[in-house]
Amino acid sequence: MATITLTTEDYAALVADRDALRGERDGLRDACDGLNGEVRTLKVKVSLLEERLKAHLRTLFDAKSEVRGTEQKDMFFNEAEALAPTGTPVAEESTPDIEIPAHTRKKRGRKPLDPNLPRDIVRHELPESERICAHDGAALVEIGVEISEQLDIVPQQVRVIQHQRVKYACPCCDESIKVTPAPARIIPKGLLTASALAWVVTSKYIDALPLYRQAALLGRFGGDLSRATLAASIVKVGGAVQPIINLLRDHLLEADLIHADETTLQVLKEPGRAAQTKSYLWAQASGTGPPIRLFGYAPGRGAKQAEALFAGIKPGGVLMSDGYEVYGGIAQVHGLTHLGCWAHARRYFIEAEAVIPKASRVPEQIPTQFIAAIGELYAVESEARERKLDAEARRQLREAKARPVLGRIETMLLAHLHAVVPNSLLGKALHYLSAQWPKLTRYVENGAWPIDNNLAENAIRPFVVGRRNWLFADTVAGAHASANLYSLVETCKANGIDPYAYLVNLFSKLPTAQTADDFESLLPWAGCRR
């Protein structure tokens, strides 16, 4: 074997080459580690973007219900902003159940028509020539009638009320002339009667019928009114009912429990603001006392606007809301007990579960576990309703059955809170649950306290549905008018009062109201219930 002889210089050069290669290798390793880290980061970002895309597509094209199965029918709580009118119509053949020892079945046939509806009797008689017995030729006598009923609908009837104010004069001189005063109107010199105004208001704020469609509909029946005329009438009558709105607010702020929520409203012509700027409609609902649903317009959703709406609230009451931090400030300033909404907490986990591929969904998935546990909380509430428990009995039931479930949810929360990417849908759900935990668990302390904010969400839902048709308010005055009129019709609905009948009565009597008792007598619950 040949011997290789290296000089000192050659050896030093080889060592230098070796060290250089090692340095290059280490540099490549560091670069590779850096690239691997970037790849991992990019994978997380891609995963988050895919998750957000799926959630966005679900929002756009999927059904907006949170329905997950018949076993959780008591937990269908939809966000007002995401709700679509997808309910199925009531079947014509729906009839009362018939109890049979072995089972319960439906009686065949149509549901009877409302007995309170007016009825026109149409008699159908045989001709005289056919009232003869075919066997012995004797004349037939009437022994009764067979009754069947049809529902008849009379289209809108448009008519003109002509007011003739009699003028009087003295026959002996020309100095004394008197004219019968004009009756008081809610809109001075207004073109529409109280009944017509009530129809326009209920069509817009209950039936979600935009004013241009109302104008077209009236035009088919001879009522040639422009959209501008209807809009001006809405704004004026919405301002005229302000005394009643003020009374409703006074009663609301005296309630022991208040629900609160808000949604967006676009106002095109708001001084100093672009037409695309978001404004807000705030909703407040009484959880005790007379059912009140109150809406207020504000150009923003900050603490300043919230404080104006809650100014004068009774200290020591209870406030139920979602996790928007402004409500926490209101509760702190006024010494309120602040409750969190489990429907909102559950909604975040539903969104996190929805982006998981269906093939990969198993009960062991983290979002599914939380949804199931929250479902157990609602099962306790369902049991309390079925048993018709009072507040104290409900509190005891919650302590016995809901409190252990809350303990399990908290254990799962602590186990997963810091193990999930915070910006993912699941991460957001966990962090929302963590931030709201004291408020979410507080409801078990009092059986009269609600588990969620559905009362406010259900109150604000008709506005959101209507907004999809009429899209925006033109002016600030129109926004305030809409808030006032929504307050009236939704309060009527909450009290079981026909909004149209109430508004006809209100618009007729409000112009002559003078005393506090007069105005109190015009509150919705002072009227006749359905």
Q: For 358-376, what is the HEC assignment? A: HHHCCCCCHHHHHHHHHHH
Q: How far is CA 286 from CA 93, 230, 290, 313, 502, in A?
A: 37, 32, 7, 12, 20
- Does residue 267 sit in the same domain as residue 351? no
Contact 265, 297 (CB under 8 A): yes
- Does residue 377 sit in the same domain as residue 507? no
- Does residue 448 sit in the same domain as residue 460? no
Per-residue DSSP letters for 412-474?
A: HHHHHTTSS-TTSHHHHHHHHHHHHHHHHHGGGG-TTS-SS-HHHHHHHHHHHHHHHHH--EE
State percent of the chain over pLDDT 90: 42
∠ at Cα 28 (26, 34), nearest 5°?
105
| pTM for the predicted model, two decimal places | 0.75
Band of the pLDDT at 523, cuts 50, 70, 90?
very high
Q: How many domains does the chain have?
A: 2
Residue type, 73: K
- Does residue 309 sit in the same domain as residue 293? yes
Lowest average pLDDT, out of 101-105, 192-196, 285-289, 508-512, goes to 101-105
**140 domain-assigned:** no
**399 domain-assigned:** yes
Contact 230, 214 (CB under 8 A): yes
What would the mean pLDDT of 99-112 be, rounded to a whole number? 59
pLDDT tens, residue by residue, 460-514: 888 887 777 666 677 888 889 999 999 999 999 999 999 999 999 999 999 999 9
Residues across the chain: 530
Instruction: Give the residue, 136 or 10, on which the prediction is more confident.
Output: 136
* DSSP code of residue 262: E
Contact 165, 180 (CB under 8 A): yes
Contact 524, 518 (CB under 8 A): no
Among the three residues 399, 420, 452, which one is the final residue of a domain in this structure?
A: 452
Residue 99: φ, ψ to 5°: -80, 125
- Does residue 431 sit in the same domain as residue 516? no
Contact 431, 260 (CB under 8 A): no
- Does residue 488 sit in the same domain as residue 363? no
**259 domain-assigned:** yes
- Distance between CA atoms of residues 297 and 230, nearest Å: 21
Lowest average pLDDT, out of 39-53, 108-122, 475-489, goes to 39-53
The closest alpha carbon to 366, from 432, 430, 434, belongs to: 430
The yes-or-no verdict on residue 156 having pLDDT over 80 is no
Where in 47-102 does DSSP place strands (E)? 97-99
**353 domain-assigned:** yes
- What letters, b where the CB count within 10 A reaches 16 and e where it falls short, cover 124-163? eeeeeeeeeeeeeeeeeeeeeeeeeeeeeeeeeeeeeeee
Which secondary structure element, helix H or strand E, spans residue 260, and what is its range? strand 257-269
Instruction: Give the residue, 475 or 406, on which the prediction is more confident.
Output: 406
pLDDT tens, residue by residue, 323-380: 889 999 999 999 999 999 999 999 999 988 888 877 777 888 899 999 999 999 999 9
Contact 511, 185 (CB under 8 A): yes
**82 domain-assigned:** no
Among the three residues 428, 452, 476, which one is the final residue of a domain in this structure?
A: 452
Q: What integer pLDDT is reported at residue 157 of this predicted model?
A: 81
- Does residue 481 sit in the same domain as residue 389? no
- Does residue 347 sit in the same domain as residue 425? yes
pLDDT tens, residue by residue, 252-284: 999 999 999 998 888 887 787 887 788 888 999
- Does residue 236 sit in the same domain as residue 348? no
Lowest average pLDDT, out of 62-66, 256-260, 283-287, 452-456, goes to 62-66
- Does residue 314 sit in the same domain as residue 463? yes
Among the three residues 429, 452, 475, which one is the final residue of a domain in this structure?
A: 452
State percent of the chain over pLDDT 70: 85
Residue type, 324: Y
- Distance between CA atoms of residues 191 and 185, nearest Å: 10
- Does residue 333 sit in the same domain as residue 458? yes
Q: Which residues contact residue 203 at a Cβ distance below 8 angstroms, ignoring those fewer than 6 apart?
A: 209, 214
Long-range contacts of 84-93 (CB under 8 A, 24+ apart): 85/465
Contact 70, 58 (CB under 8 A): no
Question: What is the domain extent for residue 392?
Answer: 341-452
The yes-or-no verdict on residue 302 having pLDDT over 60 is yes
**276 domain-assigned:** yes
Contact 412, 364 (CB under 8 A): no
- Does residue 291 sit in the same domain as residue 323? yes
**307 domain-assigned:** yes
Assigned token pair, 262: 């808000």
**480 domain-assigned:** yes
- Distance between CA atoms of residues 140 and 137, nearest Å: 9
- Distance between CA atoms of residues 241 and 492, nearest Å: 14
Contact 440, 342 (CB under 8 A): yes
Residue whose token pair is 């020591």: 316
